[in-house]
Structure formats: structure tokens, C-alpha cells
Chains A and B, each alone.
Chain A
Amino acid sequence: MRRAVRYAVLLAVLGAVLGGWLYHQHARVISDYPLKTLSIEPERLSQQHVGELVAGRSITQTLDWQGLRDRSLDLFGDQPFCVALFFANYYDRNNTGTLVVELELSESAENWSKVGNERLNVADIRNYRYESVCFEGITLAQAMAQPARVRLAALDSPPGRSVTVYLADYADERLGAETLIHRVQVRADHRNEQIGAWVILAAVVGILLAVIAGLAHASRAGTSAPAIAEQRFSRYIDWLAAQPAPTRLTPPPAAQALQCWVILAPEHSPEAAGLTAQDHPYWTATQAATRPDLPADQVLVVVLHSGVRLKPHALSQLVKGFMDCPNWQLAYTDSERLDEAGQPVGAFFKPDWSPHLLAQPDYPGGLLAMRASALPDASAQSASAAGWVALAVTAERAAIGHVAQPLVQISPNAVPPSMGSLIAPSPIPMLDKVLVSIIIPLRDKVDYLRACIESISRNTRGVAFEIIVVDNGSVQPETAAYLDKLRAQDNGPVREVLRIDEPFNWSMVNNRGAAVARGDVLLFLNNDTEVSRLDWLARLAEMALRPEVGCVGGLLLFPDQTIQHSGVVVGMNHWADHVFIGQPVDADFAPPANAFVNPTVTRNVLAVTGACLAVSRKLYEQLGGLDEDFLICGSDVAFCLEAYRSGRYNVLCAEARLLHHESKTRSREVPEIDFVMSAKTYEPWRTQAVDPFYNPNLGLFATHPQPAVRQKQ
């Protein structure tokens, strides 16, 4: 609120400055709008000034009524009479003094009577412009009734501090010799146009302020950074066509090159595997696990599954990856699906190393590579897919490379190899002595809470739990009644009901709940969720207790069985978004319909939603809890990112399938501070790097994964 007021004040000040300046620029012209010029100026043959108008100097000019426009008297006869004289103020210097302009009417040739007397401040006279004087009380009709003349006289200007007027010769013979350059005018009613001018100025200022406010917001929110523009493709072959032609790498001399020792499945041949077409010449194909007679640090073991064919530049790109990243001990690549005719129809764009991606076919894939120096021994068991997995389980995160290019082609009848079942990063924790604290914040809407708690009570097996309800400012009587009832239940699932009467802050409310929790695992759960699978909590808890795991989220579904949450991709839609949101959970997620992992299988993600977030108490305390600088959104993602930065893997646990009533179309007002905090904490994945558990070949501006090409800015 304070920021909004500050904003408004700043804009108001800016508007006042801009408006004031515009007023200063145009006020004179606008004030002259009512002056209607009626005389038609004949062509000037020459012009000269009369010299400085110093004290005592005067000039008289007879007015020519024949030079007025037609119908002037009819239309403007009753308007005040004015005359404009053409002045010069050299170099717009600062002058001083007063000029007097008198109107004299004649009853006869010698008898002139003064009927008007107006003054001009010399300091206000501009260079080479007309200055008008109106004679109040004298109408055009009165002035035209008889011969008239104006007399210009200087009262008190000293030499060097005054202005001058111009005389001219005219082509009109009637005017004859030198005549003071002047115009006959009236003061008409042009208030409409004057108001219009102010309206225009106000609109210009308003439009500029609106733009400035928008830009200021964009700058604060970080959207002034170049957008990562992308083009998405609904068909993989279109994406393929948009790829630059592969650059043919010049192979290094054999002595410096990595030698690829390609281990083929028994029914595979070098030709069928695409080895003979490789642009990397240093490879040896074998079906026996006999390592070539070369130093281990010069050998790359490549295990190919049957039905897998290498693209011509596959080995060179793979070798390049290992050469560029000396840390890599192991690597895998994205893959491409072929149809019966051998044409590419889809791809599997994989995430970076995801040890908990258990049930996804073709992961890590049909091509697995490892440095021979990383193998524990020269046995066939080591140089195999199982050996690769055994190494991966214990390897550092940075030691497992992912070449994000579809370098291998999978034939349609090949059985996608999956090593997920072999992966066991850590033993499954025993849950018999584990307590899970479920922390549920709420503000009214008690029916949701009732359904949530009842479903937990009814459908939870395999692990002990307690529920802590944090009531943040509920006001409805039925809420109070239900919470009283919960408090009164001695053996009920709810151990504690906290009451917090402070402005809503999602992190603060959950932190308060965590402070009174006794569990080994904390589960932050929204009150508008329901559970149905008996093992949901056990699966979350056993995952959260694994030493290599950080935060664990559930697979959340809308009531219409579409996906609400199956992991958060940081950087999606400029900030962070739920990938696959809105997709039917039973949709076809196999390639070519889907280019990414199946959202209904457990996998690693960079962040999960706080609507259902499990974490071990130990890690929660180690990370210092949820960041209360956020107000509503973003602290869940920031918390997960902290867990990832601490070296752990966050997990989307698909076995924990919950119902989430959150409206699919609800528009949430996100406070400004949440954007600022998100911009600060989401880097580098928001703008500088791609979420490692997504894929750089997938679009970031649509929640359904589609092949895309990012623009290099």
C-alpha cells in the first residue's frame, strides 16, 4: 500500500512537472485563440524596423477598413476591437518599460478623439511576433463607424532595453508608402478551442504517465530484460526443419581424439546402428566387452540398445560434449522416434539427470556413454547399461551429462529401454517410527477443510500422522464451530488448531504451524485438497526422508481429472508455472503425442507447489523455513530452489495423487513484492538458464510441452 502511494505521488509530481512545462510552452498561444484576425495582409515588398522604441518615441497608423475579409462586420461587429502589431525583440533580450497603444477615432480630418488606451509590458514582447491589444468597450462596429488610427508610444524604456516595430512597403497601391505592419482583430468567443487545448495537453500528459507507470512496473518486475522469444511447433518434423544444419566438426588427430568403443546388442550391426555413417571416424564396434588396447582416458564406452540408430553426427556431438565438459563421466542424449517408413514422427526431449525418474520408458535411453576411466573394472558387467546405472547412482550431479539433442533414432518396433527399475539412489526408509505433521492453513470455506480432513482420516495408511490446522482470520460462525469440534476431539486426527489474526502471509502461516509440529516429516497441504489413495502419505514421507531428496510434491488433479500440478518449471511463462496443467490425466503421454516425460510418473523437478509440499523436518530447519518476505506466491518455489541448491533432488511423487479444488480459471492478484522476491530468488533458471528438469528444446511459453526454437537475443 505504501509503495502504491509512493508510486502515485511520484507520478503526480512527474505529471505536474510535465504539465507545467507544457503549460509554459503553450499558454501564450492558447490565450491568443480568441483573437480573430480579420484583415488580409497584402504582399510585402520590403520591410524595415523603425528603431528602438525608447521613451518619448511614438508612431501613428491609420487603419484601412477595406482590407478586411468579407462579412467581417456582419459576423463580428459586436465583438471587442483589437489590433496586433509586429514587433522585434532582438535576441529575445530582457527589456524593460511600458508601451501604450491608443485608438483614436475621427469625426473630421483634423478632429481625432482618443477612445481607447491600452498598455503593453515591453518585457513580455517576443521577437518577430504579433502582439495584440484589445480595446475594452469598443466594438468592431464602433471602430469602423468612422476613420480610425492607432498610436503607439513608448513611455519609459531606456535605450538598449526596448523593442521595435516594423514598417513595410506593400504591393497594394492603395496602401502606398511605408505602413506599420499590423492586423485588425476582434476578440471572439473561442472558449471551446481553449478548453480543447487544455484537454489535449492533459491527455498527452496522461498517456505519457500511463506509459511511464507501465515501464516502471516492467523494470521493477524484471520484464524489461529481453524476452526469451520462442517459436513452438505442434509437429516434431517442423521443429526438425527449423534446426540449423549440423556443423560438421573437424576430427582432431587420432592421438588427441576420444576413441568410441561402441558396444552393440547381440542382434545389432554397425550398419544398422548407423556407425558407418558417422562423421567421427574413431570408433570401434564390438559385441564383446573387450576394451580396445588404448589408455582408459582416451576411450569412451558407448552402449547402444537394439533398435537404436545413431544419427550421422551423434558420436561427434557426444565426443564434443565430453571434450567440452571434462567433469562428465557419464552421458545420455535425447532421442527421436521413427515411423514404419523410417521417418521421424516425434522425439523424447529428456530432463537432465533425474535419478528418481523411475517408470519412464526410454530413460535414460538407448545410448549411454561413459568414460572408460570411470569403469571400476574391464568386465562386461561394467561396460553395460547396468554398469552405467550403477555408476550414475553414486556419481556427482555434475558428472552426468545430458546432450540435449535427439542424436539417436528409435525404430517403431524397438522396445524402449528403461533402466528406471535399476535405479535405487538410496534405501527406502522404514516408516514404522515416522510421524508426519500435516499443516493445513485456512480462512473460512470450512466445507473444504471438512472434506480434506475426513478424506485424510479415511484414506491414509502406512504411516502415523498428526494434523495441525492454522486458522488465519476466519470470521464465519460455521468455521468456528467446526474448529471447536476438532479441538474437542481427544483422539481425532487434528492435534492442534492455531489461531493467527494477522494479515495473510502464506509462509508465515505455515511456519507457525511447523513451529508446533512434532513430526519427522512436514507436509504443507492446502485445505481445498482431498486424498483417495491409501498410500499417498507413506509415499510422500518415504521419499522426503531419503537423504538425497529435498522437497516432495504430489500429483494434483482438478475435480474433472485434469492435471493441476505435476511439477513446476521455473522460467515457464516468464516466472514459474505448472507444466501439463489442464491436460487430462489419462491422455496419451507417449511419443509422438508428448515430447517430454509422462507427467503421471514419479520424476525429479526443480520445484513443486506449496499446495502439497513434503519435506523432512531436518531439511526444513536447515533451510530456515519458508521465506516470509513473500506474501502469497513464490515462497514454495524459492524454498524448493534452496533445497536444490543444497545438493538435493526435489521430487514429484506421482503415487501421491490428490484432488485439488483450485479453480482452473481463477485470476490471482499477486502482490508486487512477490514479483520482486521471485525475480530475486528464481535466478538463474528464470531468465539465464533453462530449468534442468525441463529441456531446452521445449517451449517455455506454453504449459503443454511442445518442441520450440528459442531466439538468440
Chain B
Amino acid sequence: MMMRLSIGTMAALATALALYLAWFITPLGDGPDETGHYSYVHIIAEGDLLPLMEQSYMVSGLWGDDHAALQPAERRNYIVQHPPLYYWVAAAPHALADALGASTQVLYRIPRAVSAISFGALLLVMFSTLRNAGVNPARALPITAGLAFLPMLMQLSTTTTNDVFLFLLCALATRSLVRFVMQKSLPDAYFCAFWLTLAGGTKMTGWVFIAPAVAILLYELRAPIKVWLMHAVGVTSVALTLPIAWMLRNWVHFGTPFYREGYAELSRPALDAQTTSFLSMVADQPVMNWLFAHFHGLFGFSGYCQTPELRHLCSGAEMTQLFGFARNAFTVAVALVVLGYVVYLLRRTWQDARQSPVIPRAALLGVPLAIGLWAGVTLLFTSFIDFSSHYEISQLLLRLDRWGGELAMLGVALLAGGWAWTRWGPRHAVPPLSGLALAVLVGIAAGWLINRMFSGQTLGDLQILIMSLLPPVGLLAGALVLLQKDGQSRLALYGPLVLLFFGSVLLYQIYQGYILAGVPRGVQGRYLYPVLPLVLVALGLALERLRVHATVCLAVLVLLGLGFADAFIERVLPFYLEVRL
């Protein structure tokens, strides 16, 4: 009862804060693309339930300013590229308020309430998800509350955007997935598929969660082949209904399933892909730092001062990241949680390697060794490029890479793994295993040490280190997941694997955008929200298995809370005041 009261109070306070900020503080138009999102809601509320991109326009003279009523034809609403589910939901209160004669100032803010309420519901669902996974409430509660202290999530919850609603749907899907994996009850598999299809009906980025989630469902669906086939088809059909329907619509109208505004224009690349490698982008552009920083908080993005109606009222910087204590507190908190997970993963590897039969043990031996070396070498390599750029050494030699360097290193690592296997054999897996763990750590630490010489931020190196851990951690988790016989252990491993999948897709998209536009595009940490519930389940279970005391979780939460307060009071509110004349 008391626990329910606690989680309820926490969620209610977070929702109330989001509603308050939405109504009184966050400037209108300051959410990411809020003008477009609001216009989409407005159009639906007016009765056009499925507006077509290229025929849909921004509402002119928005946000109470009548100085610059642009011609509609000048500003097509590119946000209409998103599926309409969230906008239908947000349009309902908008239409109701409009029918009751609400002022425009109220109408502008009404759709924001959907985000704020979704945020509160998300916290409740996340707590329930962790509990269903077997995480003790003493750990589930601080982990859930940590979400309330994410400045970017709070900011999005105060604006008209589909991101928080999508996050909620993905959390609901994760909850059903967890229940299915834990209890093998088929209705939960179908519930999961149902939430997934709603996520696909909200935003096409939901695909990067839908695909792995369906794969997990099918993998977990253990049954005789006929039964398996029947339910596999059933679950997949349910999960894909809305996203496929949306893609078909795009295909019918625009000839391509993933149509986006400006598609044709961006297809003329600004950079030469032959000479601009992925690694050079990572070395030359602050992509990794931005991903981390923007996940934490990017304010003013495409917002108030990038809205034509209001731009003339602005001065100074148009967007800001969060710096200082807020960023450092967040970095340290994330680092501590990731450290916990890595410890769990190494322990799991150790235990599984000692108990596994020959072939999985060989895989365990070779794969992490290869991955560890690959990660370490890649990091060293990028650091070296950074080093060479810094000292203006010719980069010719160092950019022979493309992917050849990594592939060569991967081959060498596999050979080393194979040699280690033949040398020590199945009964002596432990020494090479500890060796490879050491190799992972030494490789990454070496890259980190070199990198830190050039990092301009406090704890910027730690952020890079955290992100560099994802490839080895994700792939190792992927190798281990095949060896687990119980669902809970698999749940503790799916998260990083799916995050790695999503991260790779996102980085590839950023690289594509870089080639097309000449600058990194879409470097938004909020894109990771769909997979975050599954990642939190994995982290929660790792902390559970390590028996991390609740006091430690609370200490990390307090750190996040202080960082959150610092972010809004020392950075965000002054930014709002500073930027607006």
C-alpha cells in the first residue's frame, strides 16, 4: 500500500510539474518542431483526419503573434510525415476545448497535456514493468524516478510532440513482453504486439523497437512447429498492421514507403562518400558527445526562436545544451549504472563459460575477444585521427581505413580467439576469458586515455567511454542470451543488444545525413526512447542480481534530482529569459 502511494505520489508530482511547465513556463513553439506538431493536431481537430504531406501546411500566425502571418504555401508541414495516432489523441481535447469556446492561448497548450499525462503514465508503467521482471520495489522505485529527472524527457512532456506518447506505448509493449517472457502466457504476446502496432501508428522510428521486439517474441515463443507458426503469424501480423498500413499509404501516394519531406532535395549529397568515412565523421564531428548531451537535454531546438512567427523577438543563442553540474551529475549517474551492468555481464560471462558445452564456450571465448579488440582498436584509431588532426600530421596514412582496418583487426582477433581456443581447450576457458576481459578493458582504457587529451568538456571522456562500451557490451549480451535457459536472465541481456541495434541504425542514419547535408543530422538522444524501457529492465535486473543496495540507488537518484534542479534553474529558465527579448 505504502509502495503504491509512493509510486503514485511520485508520478502525480512529475505529471503536475510537467503540466505546470507546459502551461506557464515552456515558451510556445519551444518543443522540437512544435509548430509542425501543433499544426498537425490543429488540422485533425478541424476535421481532416488524415492530412496528406505536401498538401498540408503550418498554421500561420501561431503563438499569439500576428506580426508575420506567412503565406500558407510558404511553409508545408513536414511533420505530417508521422503516422496520425498521437495527433488523433491530442486533437480530441483540442476539439473539445475549441467547441467550448476556449481562447487560442488555451488551445495552443491543450495538446501539451497529452504529453504531460503520457509522462505520468509512463512512470507507472515503467515501475510495473520492472516489478513484472522481478526487480525488487526498492530498486524499481528509484530507477523509475530517475526517468522523472531526465531534463529532456521533462521538456518534451511539456510540449506538443509525439515522442512521449511513443515512449509510453513502447513501455506498455515492453511490459507485456516482460510478462510473456517471464510467464509464457500467450495473451501477453498478443498484447505486446498490440502496443507495438500502436507505436508504429505513432512514429515510424517505432520500427527500430518493433523489429527487435517481434524477433524476441518469436524467439521466446517456444512451441511445437505448427503452434509456433500459427502464433508467429498472429503476433507478427498484429504488430505490423499499423506501420505497414502507413508505409503502404506512403507508397501509394509518394512511391516510397519511408517518404519524408525534402526527400528528393537531400538525395544530392554534399560530401563525397568515397572520401568521407564513418570513422572520419566520428573523429571530425562531435557526434558522440552530442548524442550523449542531447539525450540529457537540448533546449530551444527548432523551437521558439526558429519559428518564423517569433524569430524577430529573439536574440542570442537559439538553443542550448546543459552544462556544468547538471551534465556532470547525469554523466556520473549513468557511468555508475553502466559500471554495474558491465560487472554483471562479466560475472555472467564467467559463470556461463564455466558451465557451457564446447561450442557456446568457443563462441563466448572468441566473440568477446574479437569485439573487445575491435572496440579498443577502433577507439584507438579514432583517437589517433583526432591526435593527427590536432597536430596537423598528414591524415593520409591514418585514413586508409574505411572499414578495412576494422575488418583486418576483426580477423586478427578471431584468429587470436581461435588460437586461444586450440591452445587452452574447453576445460581451461577461464584464463583466456579473464585475458579477453582484460583486453576489452585495456583497449578501451587506452583509447580513453588518448582521447581525454582532446576532450573539451569536464567528464566528456567519461561520456565517450560509456558510449564506447556499447558495442562490446551489446554483442556480448547477444552471445550470452543464447545460453540462458530462463526468461529472466534473457531479459537482463536483451536491452543492450537492442540498444546496440538501434544505436547502429541511428549512427548510420546520422552518417547518411552527414553525407547528404554536410553536417551531422538527427543527432537526437530522444530517438532512443523506444528501446529505453527494455534497457532499463536489463539494468534493473543487473542491479537486482548484484544485490546493489537500495541506498546506492537512492544516492544516484538524489544526484540525478539535484542535476535536474540545476538544469532547469541554472540553465533552462535563464535560457528562456535570455533568448527572448
Contacts and interface: CB of A to CB of B under 8 A. Distances in A.
Interface of A: 22, 25-26, 29-30, 33, 36-37, 40, 69-72, 75, 190, 192-193, 195-197, 199-201, 203-204, 206-208, 210-215, 217-219, 221, 223-227, 229-234, 238, 241-244, 669-670, 672, 709, 711, 713
Contact of B565 (A37, A200, A244, A672): A200
Contact of B9 (A206, A243, A669, A709): A206
Contacts of A208: 145, 557-558, 561
B134 A711 contact: yes
B386 interface: no
Given A203-B14, A214-B141, A709 B573 contact: no
A29 B574 contact: yes
A30 B550 CA distance: 33
6 contacts: A26-B569, A69-B315, A207-B14, A212-B554, A213-B9, A215-B550
A230 B134 CA distance: 8
Contacts of B549: 224
Given A214-B5, A231-B182, 10 more contacts: A29-B569, A72-B581, A196-B20, A208-B561, A215-B554, A218-B138, A223-B137, A225-B136, A230-B134, A231-B181
Contact of A204 (B25, B137, B561): B561
A213 to B, nearest CB: 5
B570 interface: yes
Nearest to A203: B17
B466 interface: no
B577 interface: yes
Given A33-B573, A203-B14, A210-B10, A26 B488 contact: no
Contacts of B578: 37
B142 A197 contact: no
A196 B18 CA distance: 11
A219 B137 CA distance: 10
Interface of B: 1-3, 5-7, 9-10, 13-14, 16-17, 20-21, 24-25, 134-138, 141-142, 145, 148-149, 181-185, 222, 315, 355, 485-489, 544-545, 547, 549-550, 554, 557-558, 561-562, 564-566, 568-570, 573-574, 576-578, 581
Name the residue in A75, A192, A215 with the highest tally of chain B Cβ atoms < 10 Å from its Cβ: A215
Contacts of A226: 136, 544, 547
A238 B184 contact: yes
Given A29-B570, A196-B25, A232-B183, A211 B577 contact: no
Contact of B568 (A197, A223, A234): A197
5 A-B pairs closest in CB distance: A214-B6, A229-B134, A217-B2, A203-B17, A210-B9
Contacts of B24: 192, 195-196
Interface of A is mostly: helix
Nearest to B558: A208
A30 B572 CA distance: 12
Given A201-B569, A207-B148, A224-B138, A233 B184 contact: yes
Contacts of A244: 355, 485
Interface of B is mostly: helix
A215 B569 contact: no
B21 to A, nearest CB: 7
A185 B486 CA distance: 65
A206 B5 CA distance: 13
Given A75-B581, A193-B577, A232-B184, A30 B2 contact: no
A193 B579 CA distance: 14
Nearest to B580: A36
Nearest to B564: A204
A214 B7 contact: yes
A693 to B, nearest CB: 24
Contacts of B554: 211-212, 215
Contacts of B565: 22, 26, 200-201, 204
A317 to B, nearest CB: 18
Nearest to B182: A231
A353 B18 CA distance: 59
A229 B142 contact: no
Contacts, number: 170
Contact of B10 (A71, A207, A225): A207
Nearest to A699: B183
Contact of B486 (A36, A231, A670): A231
Given A22-B565, A36-B577, A223-B137, A211 B10 contact: yes
Contacts of A227: 134-136, 544
A194 to B, nearest CB: 9
B188 to A, nearest CB: 12
Contacts of B566: 25-26
B488 A231 contact: yes
Contacts of B562: 22, 204
A244 B136 CA distance: 25
Nearest to B490: A231
B142 A215 contact: yes
Contacts of B135: 227
Given A71-B581, A232-B184, A238 B2 contact: no
A183 to B, nearest CB: 12
Contact of A711 (B14, B183, B486): B486
A234 B227 CA distance: 15
A69 B316 CA distance: 9
Contact of B485 (A206, A211, A230, A242): A242
Contacts of A22: 562, 565
Name the residue in B5, B10, B486, B566 with the highest tally of chain A Cβ atoms < 10 Å from its Cβ: B486
A217 B3 contact: yes
B247 to A, nearest CB: 36
B577 A203 contact: no
Contacts of B547: 226, 713
B65 to A, nearest CB: 14
A610 B168 CA distance: 44
Given A22-B565, A201-B569, A190 B544 contact: no
A233 B574 CA distance: 56
Name the residue in B21, B149, B573 with the highest tally of chain A Cβ atoms < 10 Å from its Cβ: B573
B148 A238 contact: no
B25 A192 contact: yes
A711 B488 contact: yes
A219 B486 CA distance: 28
Nearest to B563: A204
Contacts of A25: 566
Contacts of B184: 231-234, 238
A702 to B, nearest CB: 8
A203 B581 contact: no
Nearest to B545: A713
A36 B16 CA distance: 29
A195 B142 CA distance: 27
A451 to B, nearest CB: 32
A231 B578 CA distance: 55
A199 B141 contact: no
A711 B485 CA distance: 11
Contacts of B182: 231-232
Given A208-B561, A227-B544, A193 B16 contact: no
B20 A199 contact: yes
A198 B541 CA distance: 36
Nearest to A190: B577
